Amino acid sequence: MKAAVFHGPGQPMTIENIEIEKPKRNEVLVRTRVSGLCHSDLHFIEGKYPTPVPAVLGHEAAGVVEAVGEDVTHVKPGDHVVTCLSVFCGHCEYCVTGHQTICSNTAVKMPPGVARRLRWKGEHLNQYLNLSTFAEQMLVHENAVVKIREDMPLDLAALLGCGVLTGYGSVVHSAQLEPGTTVAVLGCGGVGLSTIHAAHLAGAARIIAIDIDPAKLEMAKIFGATDGMDAKDPDMAAKIIEMTQGGVHYAFECIGLKSTTEASFAMLRPRGLSTIVGMIPLGTKIELHGFDFLRERRIQGTMMGSNHFRLDIPRLVEFHMQGRMKLDQLVSNRLKLEQINDGFSALQRGGIARNVIVFD
């Protein structure tokens, strides 16, 4: 099968013929139909996060089940599925307490370099985040997929596997946003726009979109933003405190930068909550003013929006089919696998929500 092979930071991916194993116990073989190009992948491409190479990247996808291994019960061949990197065991301390995104079972959520599912030129090829969606087929654990209704367009369903799910989960699960509150979202890429949309659906009274790109601020209005602000404004936090008469109830940092993380905390009202959704580069230290904690301002991290993807994704599908979501507007371009490097270059330049790879 064809796949985009990642050779290391600063190097273009190459389209290669690779081999994939047959499904073993609890494994599912999926024919990839669509894969999104996510900013999280870009962090690894740019070397901000490490991963063993060579590898097949990609983690946001939808496809059709081709075969299943022994003891698989959730899906069968022919089922339409969305993949999710929040693979879970269902038995560890975190799973049984409802926190499956931080499942600790390394037999299921295998660390980088452990999975032996792919080969290239007769040698081991690393699987990425237990998925590797930039390939014509994926071999994954049963608990890395969720079945969806077959009339849901797969090019839109793929977005639910990471970007939309993370934004939705960050609002609904991580922050548990209350209706009628004020919200600031820092960063209006795919995840940020999804966070804005989720806050709108959850009943936020005012949603302030923050970005350096005027085009993204305009796009944010489509998804429910009531206000926009230039992230380059040195007085951004002070202006938001003034315009909200004391600060926002909730801030969501969706970029992964030191400056925006600190700003998200500074713009909170007393008892406000900042949720860090973006992937902050390893080694980065965040500085906060100690007095703010006396005003009971809070800051927290989230992993994939603390999602329950087996429940969340079918619900998001229903929202879309009812016309309550704007998934169509999230897709900026549909590309072929051979255009993957161009797609990530466009992501680096900015001005887009989500590019997707569509497989023949």
Task: Say which CATH number the domain at 46 has.
Answer: 3.90.180.10
Burial 158-197 (b: 16+ CB within 10 A, else e): bbbbbbbbbbbbbbbbbbebeeebbbbbbbbbbbbbbbbb
Q: Known catalytic residue: 74?
A: no
Q: Which of 89, 92, 103, 162 is catalytic?
A: 162
Residues 304, 307: Cα–Cα separation, whole Å: 6
Q: Is residue 343 included in any domain, yes or no?
A: yes
Catalytic residue among 35, 39, 40, 92: 40
**244-272: per-residue pLDDT in tens?**
999 999 999 999 999 999 999 999 999 99
Instruction: Report which DSSP code applies to 163.
Output: H
| Known active-site residue 320 | no
In a domain, 22, yes or no: yes
Q: Which long-range contacts (CB under 8 A, 24 or more apart) does 267-270 make?
A: 267/184, 267/236, 267/237, 267/240, 267/241, 268/292, 268/297, 268/298, 269/182, 269/241, 269/244, 270/246, 270/295, 270/296, 270/297
Pick the catalytic residue from 35, 39, 59, 274: 59
Please tell me whether residues 14 and 131 are part of one structural domain: yes
Residues 149 and 93 occupy one common structural domain: yes
156, 171: one domain: no
Confidence of residue 25 (pLDDT cuts 50, 70, 90): very high
User: Domain range for residue 293?
Assistant: 167-302
Q: Is residue 40 part of a domain?
A: yes
Asked if residue 319 belongs to a domain, the reply is no
Q: Of all residues in the chain, what percent carry a pLDDT higher than 70?
A: 100
**Sheet strands (E) in the chain:** 2-5, 14-17, 19-20, 27-37, 55-56, 61-68, 80-83, 118-120, 123-127, 137-141, 145-148, 182-186, 206-211, 227-230, 248-253, 268-276, 298-301, 331-335, 354-358
Question: Do residue 172 and residue 73 come from a single domain?
Answer: no
Residues 181 and 41 in one domain: no
Q: What is the mean pLDDT of the chain?
A: 96
Asked if residue 337 is part of any domain, the answer here is yes
User: What is the count of structural domains for the chain?
Assistant: 2
Residues 245 and 173 in one domain: yes
Hey, what are 86's tokens? 């929040």
140: three-class secondary structure by DSSP: strand
Q: Label residue 13 by pLDDT band (50, 70, 90).
A: very high
Q: Which of the residues 35, 39, 43, 274 is marked catalytic?
A: 43
End-to-end CA distance of the chain: 12
The whole-angstrom separation of Cα 36 and Cα 58 is 8
pLDDT digits (tens, 9 = 90+) for 325-347: 999 999 999 999 999 999 999 99
Asked if residue 237 belongs to a domain, the reply is: yes
Q: Is 224 part of a structural domain of the chain?
A: yes
pLDDT 10s digits, 50-78: 999 999 999 999 999 999 999 999 999 99
Q: Is 188 annotated as catalytic?
A: no
Q: What is the pLDDT of residue 237?
A: 95
Based on the fold, state whether residues 147 and 123 are members of the same structural domain. yes
Domain identity same for 13 and 135: yes
Please give the backbone phi and psi of residue 7, each rounded to the nearest 5 degrees, phi first: -105, -10
User: CATH code at 291?
Assistant: 3.40.50.720
Residue 178 lies in a domain: yes
Q: Over the stretch 189-248, which tens digit does the pLDDT of each residue have?
A: 999 999 999 999 999 999 999 999 999 999 999 999 999 999 999 999 999 999 999 999
Q: Are residues 54 and 139 in the same domain?
A: yes
Q: For this structure, is 124 an active site residue? A: no
Per the residue annotation, which of 35, 38, 86, 188 is the catalytic one? Answer: 38
Asked whether residue 134 falls in the same domain as residue 226, the answer is no
Instruction: Tell whether 152 and 234 lie within a shared domain.
Output: no
